[in-house]
Amino acid sequence: MSKQTDDFFKNVISHAKEYGFVFPSSEIYDGLSAVYDYGQMGAELKNNIKTYWWKAMVQLHENIVGLDSAIFMHPTIWKASGHVDGFNDPMIDNKDSKKRYRADQLIEDKIARYVADGKTDKAAKLQADLDTALSADDLPRLKSLIEEHEIVCPVSGTRNWTDVRQFNLMFSTQMGASAEGAEVVYLRPETAQGIFVNFLNVQKTGRQKIPFGIAQIGKAFRNEVIARQFIMRMREFEQMEMQFFVRPGTELDWYAQWKETRLKWHLALGSDQRKYRFHDHVKLAHYANAAVDIEYEFPFGFKEVEGIHSRTDFDLSQHQKFSGKKLQYFDPEINQNYVPYVIETSIGLDRMFLTVLCNAFEEQNISSEEKQDSRTVLHLHPVLAPVKAAIFPLIKKDGLPEKAKEILKQLQLEHNVIYEEKDAIGKRYRRQDAIGTPFCITVDHQTLQDDSVTIRHRDSMEQKRISISALSSKIAELVSWKNLLEQLL
Ligand code: GAP
């Protein structure tokens, strides 16, 4: 990361805390690594992102329905899905610092340093060696790459490494009252399995015909060994996943369609198209026949925000085998029973939140000939903005607060709006810019005469006079779900 992008990212993180978007969890106890809380603004923004996803997936598609499955599930589910045996990261410890690292990430960091130093041949060779070792699950080879490339522990600076070992990422706990009778259960590492095991329940009770999808938003837990990049890699996070069940043989057409549909969803928020790219998986998981990531260019480089995977019939077949229950569909069009194939779209809500923040954050120079000035502004899409409008009385007397509160009461019925009377008006504008409020409404002495107010637009900072009676429809038009969703059609 260059100094400039490093500073930008640090500023985004401190802004998120200062304005009530994201707090480190348990902060008064010095925090809990890779766990975060969403504050008053963050909770609103997060809910708006969820709503955008839910409306785009469930409301706009006749053949997609929602689900809210439990976090705890029968432990055999995780055996069937492959998570008990295969959901591992290769770890290595430094014996001097006692710090634990992901072996592949240590090597990736070295590759990045080779690239930064212009040693692109060395970088390419190491990348190829890493890929080969990972796909063969060759842990001794990972260690020998660390040794050959003289990778040192960032803390102790030494090369005194342990062997590389597999470390399962699932959190487990016990269910049941007594220690003897207690059963080990897992905190789900993905929401998808809750969808797979409910496939027949939803298909039968909803009388769904293939192709159809099941969408779910919920918490997932992974014991990530390396906490990195703020809310990018967390131990407790949220996923928005959709499994689309299709007839075998049609899956790659649906995969292509879902790739385009999902990218459109991201771009409709007005983000710069150049900041997004597809990254095809070269090495596919054994159950997938196509997989791609949608990556966003964060200050620390292009990283995955969403995955789109063609998972064949792997999950349903595994659950059929482990549960002994048939998970098949009778397709009347071809008069056949089959286990459906699945296209999955899986996006991390917290990563999407970070994408939105990084994309919106600007430290803007607004100096004029008369005065040097700057502001920090979040150019959030109005639909996502935590607060849609702030209402200010110009001063705290002459009946202006009362009039402003009347407007608040009227607008509150439709939108999340707030009232502010503290500090000079300029300061109040800056505070709203910093949380991304698209509109500020000021009640002044003219309001008492002609029932008009000024409305200031966050991005242009332009102010216009408008009658109070027109306010509600003006705001509704600018924060309309309809206008945003229409772009997805
Ligand atoms: N069901 C498929 C699945 O879980 P994944 O690529 O492991 O696939 C999907 O995760 C998405 O979940 C990722 O694209 C990412 O946005 C998010 N995600 C995964 N691990 C995460 C973590 N530790 N912290 C935050 N988000 C995470």
Q: What is the CATH number of the domain that holds 395?
A: 3.40.50.800
Looking at residue 176, its pLDDT comes to 84
The answer to whether residue 381 sits within a structural domain is no
What distance in angstroms lies between residue 178's CA and the mean position of ligand 1's atoms? 34
Does residue 444 line the site of ligand 1, with CB under 6 A? no
Looking at residue 179, its pLDDT comes to 65
Closest CA to 212 of 227, 201, 202, 220: 202
Closest CA to 345 of 250, 420, 266: 266
Does residue 237 line the site of ligand 1, with CB under 6 A? yes
The answer to whether residue 422 sits within a structural domain is yes
What distance in angstroms lies between residue 250's CA and the mean position of ligand 1's atoms? 26
The answer to whether residue 82 sits within a structural domain is no
Q: Give yes or no: residues 249 and 136 share one domain.
A: no
Q: Return the ∠ at Cα 433 (arms to 430 and 438), rounded to 5°.
A: 135
The answer to whether residue 80 sits within a structural domain is no
Q: Give yes or no: residues 6 and 36 share one domain.
A: yes
Query: Do 301 and 279 touch, CB atoms closer than 8 A?
Result: no
Strand 290-298 relative to strand 276-280, pairing = antiparallel
Looking at residue 1, its pLDDT comes to 66
- Ligand 1: residue of 239, 284, 295 to mutate (most ligand atoms within 8 A of CB) is 239
Looking at residue 228, its pLDDT comes to 73
What distance in angstroms lies between residue 347's CA and the mean position of ligand 1's atoms? 7
Which residue's CA lies nearest to atom 10 of ligand 1? Answer: 346
- pLDDT tens digits for the chain (489 residues)? 677 788 999 999 999 999 999 999 999 999 999 999 999 999 999 999 999 999 999 999 999 999 999 999 999 999 999 999 989 989 999 999 999 899 998 999 999 999 999 999 999 999 999 989 988 889 999 999 999 999 999 999 999 999 999 999 999 999 987 667 778 999 999 999 999 999 999 999 999 999 999 999 999 999 998 777 899 999 999 999 999 999 999 999 999 999 999 999 999 999 889 999 999 987 788 889 999 999 999 999 999 999 999 999 999 999 999 999 999 999 999 999 999 999 999 999 999 999 999 999 999 998 888 888 899 999 999 999 999 999 999 999 999 999 999 999 999 999 999 999 999 999 999 999 999 999 999 999 999 999 999 999 999 999 999 999 999 999 999 899 999 999 999
CA distance 196 to 193: 5
Looking at residue 4, its pLDDT comes to 77
Q: Give yes or no: residues 196 and 93 share one domain.
A: no
What distance in angstroms lies between residue 480's CA and the mean position of ligand 1's atoms? 30
Does residue 238 line the site of ligand 1, with CB under 6 A? no
Q: What is the CATH number of the domain that holds 67?
A: 3.30.930.10
Phi, psi (degrees; rounded to nearest 5) at 432: -70, -35
The answer to whether residue 379 sits within a structural domain is no
CA distance 373 to 375: 7
Closest CA to 326 of 317, 334, 335: 317
Q: Give yes or no: residues 251 and 325 share one domain.
A: yes
Indicate the residue among 314, 342, 369 that finishes a domain.
Answer: 369
User: How many domains does one find in the chain?
Assistant: 3
Looking at residue 285, its pLDDT comes to 83
Can you state the angle between helices 349-360 and 3-18, rounded to 10 degrees?
110
Does residue 347 line the site of ligand 1, with CB under 6 A? yes
Q: Give yes or no: residues 278 and 147 share one domain.
A: no
What distance in angstroms lies between residue 456's CA and the mean position of ligand 1's atoms? 39
Does residue 348 line the site of ligand 1, with CB under 6 A? yes
Residues 6+ apart with CB under 8 A from 273: 267
Q: Give yes or no: residues 178 and 159 share one domain.
A: no
Atom of ligand 1 nearest to the CA of 352: 16
User: What is the residue-wise DSSP string for 334-361?
Assistant: TTEEEPPEEEEEEEEHHHHHHHHHHHHE
Q: What is the CATH number of the domain that holds 117?
A: 3.30.40.230
Query: What is the residue range of 318's domain?
Result: 1-74+173-369
Does residue 190 line the site of ligand 1, with CB under 6 A? yes
CA distance 353 to 360: 11
What distance in angstroms lies between residue 237's CA and the mean position of ligand 1's atoms? 9
Indicate the residue among 168, 185, 210 that finishes a domain.
Answer: 168
Which pTM value belongs to this model?
0.92
Q: Give yes or no: residues 259 and 360 share one domain.
A: yes
Place of tokens 């969890």: 25
Indicate the residue among 168, 186, 213 that finishes a domain.
Answer: 168
Looking at residue 136, its pLDDT comes to 85
The answer to whether residue 151 sits within a structural domain is yes
What distance in angstroms lies between residue 235's CA and the mean position of ligand 1's atoms? 11
Closest CA to 23 of 41, 45, 9, 11: 41
Sign of CA pseudo-dihedral 135, 141, 143, 147: negative
Which residue's CA lies nearest to atom 22 of ligand 1? Answer: 233
Q: How far is CA 408 from CA 392, 411, 419, 453, 471, in A?
A: 10, 5, 7, 13, 11
Does residue 215 line the site of ligand 1, with CB under 6 A? no
The answer to whether residue 378 sits within a structural domain is no
Q: Give yes or no: residues 125 and 184 share one domain.
A: no
What distance in angstroms lies between residue 308's CA and the mean position of ligand 1's atoms? 11
Q: Give yes or no: residues 394 and 363 share one domain.
A: no
CA distance 394 to 187: 52
CA distance 61 to 56: 8
What distance in angstroms lies between residue 393's CA and the mean position of ligand 1's atoms? 45
Atom of ligand 1 nearest to the CA of 293: 14
- The encoded tokens of residue 338 equal 């089959």
Q: Give yes or no: residues 304 and 413 share one domain.
A: no
Q: Give yes or no: residues 347 and 470 share one domain.
A: no
Sign of CA pseudo-dihedral 370, 376, 381, 386: negative
The answer to whether residue 211 sits within a structural domain is yes
Q: Give yes or no: residues 339 and 195 share one domain.
A: yes
Q: How far is CA 426 from CA 122, 408, 418, 422, in A?
A: 54, 20, 16, 11
